[in-house]
Amino acid sequence: MMAMLSVILGDAGPMQRLWFRDHGSSTYAAETDHMYMFLLWLSVACFVGLMAAMVYFVIKYRWRKGQPIIRSAGHNTPMEVTWTVLPTILLVVIFFKGFWVYAKQQVAPAGALQLTLTAKKWSWDIQYPNGSGSTETTKIGAVDIPVFIVPEDTPVEIRMTSEDVIHSFWVPDFRMKQDVFPNRFTKYWFQSVKLKATDNDNPALGYPNREHWLFCAEYCGDNHSEMAGLVRVVPREQFAAWMREPFPGAMPMVEVGKILYSTKGCNGCHTTNGDDNTGPTWKDLYGSTAEYQDGSSWVLDDNAIREAIYNPGAKVRIGRENRMPTYQGSINSKQLMAIIAFMKSISENAPASAGDELWGSLDAQGNPVEAPATGDAPDGGQTPEQTPQDQPADQPAGHPADGGGEG
């Protein structure tokens, strides 16, 4: 009996299907759904109890002709204390349950595949480490929307910023959303669940896949409802293969950043080899801790770099004076992301990215390649123009940028 009830009412039963389109396609979705179903049944129990009492009283104590008014208590302290304390305890439990799930959801596991996203009215643009963006579109209503390909069962972290107003990145099937701001970076991470052989949202592909809507959830004007995308989860080897064939002309983010380092004049004051100059060296800078003259300190993350480039005088490090002009207006958000990618690539303090593994060191079948950059990986079909990743000289071995260019 209890078993049957738990099947019907449980997280994956028909009641769950009534509320959600799927079972949740990210690793943390199951916990969100569990939390929701817990709250749902708690609420249903409270509501039915209250309404049953109300309807019963209205019928039982309806006014009848000649009936005297019944004298009754104006209050009842033990009862009132009970119905104050019980909900309080319940609410504390709910808060902590919700908090633990949330806390787990907020921390991306180490080694996530790093993607960057720029949002603007009314489109999403995801950039992959190889410099490619979306290479495919599909239709929603009256507009074409991009398809974004992500690997199954791999943590993916997206650094996001907006070029105009506030947007919000929401993939309902992942049960997570995050606002995207014009003046800072925010992060969204997810890890899709493993694909089953029966997952085949797009049969034309010929391999298992799941497709998930991506919506803008913060009102942004005329075509807010058309600001969508499709996130397609594919097997890791398919993703690796796709990544090795970047969009024609695409240049890896790190490469773009390296070029900008020179063309924007960063190299005038910042070195990449560890030597000090007018400004601090970029070697091992990302992820290190900066001490400022105002007494504060900041582990140099995306937002810290952004602040230093756009608003250099705001925080000056101890032992330095600010000699840097603002680059607001001359370095746009995509260029900024590329520069950050370059800085990360030359810093021991930056977290490792799953891109290394997925893109550089897997062959088309998804098997690990023993020795990277030996040139014998079976990745035939690539032309030298499409793989400009083999130039960087001052990058640590094994970085994504020198992985794909075995040819």
Q: Cβ of residue 275: shortest distance to another protein, in angstroms?
A: 34
Is 108 a binding residue for another protein by CB under 8 A? The answer is: no
Q: What is the DSSP letter of 67?
A: P
Is 117 a binding residue for another protein by CB under 8 A? The answer is: no
Determine which residue in the list 10, 181, 202, 287 makes contact with another protein, applying CB under 8 A: 181
Computed on alpha carbons and rounded to an integer, the radius of gyration of the chain in Å comes to 27
Determine which residue in the list 5, 7, 8, 91 makes contact with another protein, applying CB under 8 A: 91
Is 99 a binding residue for another protein by CB under 8 A? The answer is: yes
- 127 with 114: CB under 8 angstroms? no
Determine which residue in the list 3, 4, 84, 273 makes contact with another protein, applying CB under 8 A: 84
Q: Of residues 222-281, which lie at the interface with another protein (CB under 8 A)? A: 222-226, 228
Is 57 a binding residue for another protein by CB under 8 A? The answer is: yes
Is 7 a binding residue for another protein by CB under 8 A? The answer is: no
**Which residue stretch of 5-13, 123-131, 209-217, 352-360 sits at the interface with another protein (rule: CB under 8 A)?**
209-217
Determine which residue in the list 134, 168, 191, 192 makes contact with another protein, applying CB under 8 A: 168
Whole-angstrom distance, CA of residue 229 vs CA of residue 277: 44
Q: Which helix (H) or strand (E) segment is 214 a member of?
A: strand 210-216
- 87 with 46: CB under 8 angstroms? no
- 112 with 155: CB under 8 angstroms? yes
Is 295 a binding residue for another protein by CB under 8 A? The answer is: no
Determine which residue in the list 9, 12, 15, 97 makes contact with another protein, applying CB under 8 A: 97
- 379 with 406: CB under 8 angstroms? yes
DSSP states along 175-211:
TEEEEE-TTS-EEEEEEBPPPPTT-BSSGGGSS-BEE
Is 220 a binding residue for another protein by CB under 8 A? The answer is: yes
Residue 58 corresponds to which amino acid?
V
Nearer to another protein, 112 or 176 (CB): 176
Whole-angstrom distance, CA of residue 375 vs CA of residue 406: 4
Beta bridge partners of 118: 125, 161
Is 218 a binding residue for another protein by CB under 8 A? The answer is: yes
Beta bridge partners of 149: 232
Is 190 a binding residue for another protein by CB under 8 A? The answer is: no
Residue 99 corresponds to which amino acid?
F
- 243 with 359: CB under 8 angstroms? yes
Determine which residue in the list 41, 102, 207, 247 makes contact with another protein, applying CB under 8 A: 102
Q: Is the peptide bond before 170 cis (omega within 30 degrees of 0)?
A: no
Q: Of residues 124-153, which lie at the interface with another protein (CB under 8 A)? A: 139-143
Nearer to another protein, 14 or 87 (CB): 87
Is 166 a binding residue for another protein by CB under 8 A? The answer is: yes
Nearer to another protein, 112 or 358 (CB): 112
Is 299 a binding residue for another protein by CB under 8 A? The answer is: no
- 277 with 271: CB under 8 angstroms? yes
**Which residue stretch of 72-80, 240-248, 375-383, 398-406 sits at the interface with another protein (rule: CB under 8 A)?**
72-80
Q: CA angle 125-147-213, nearest 5°? A: 100
Determine which residue in the list 6, 106, 263, 391 makes contact with another protein, applying CB under 8 A: 106
Binding mask 21-40 for another protein (x = CB under 8 A): x---------xx--xx--xx
Determine which residue in the list 3, 69, 197, 397 makes contact with another protein, applying CB under 8 A: 69
Question: Which pairing describes strands 155-162 and 297-299: parallel, antiparallel, or unpaired?
Answer: unpaired
Q: Residue 46 is encoded by which pair of tokens?
A: 């409270």
Q: Cβ of residue 159: shortest distance to another protein, in angstroms?
A: 16
Nearer to another protein, 79 or 269 (CB): 79
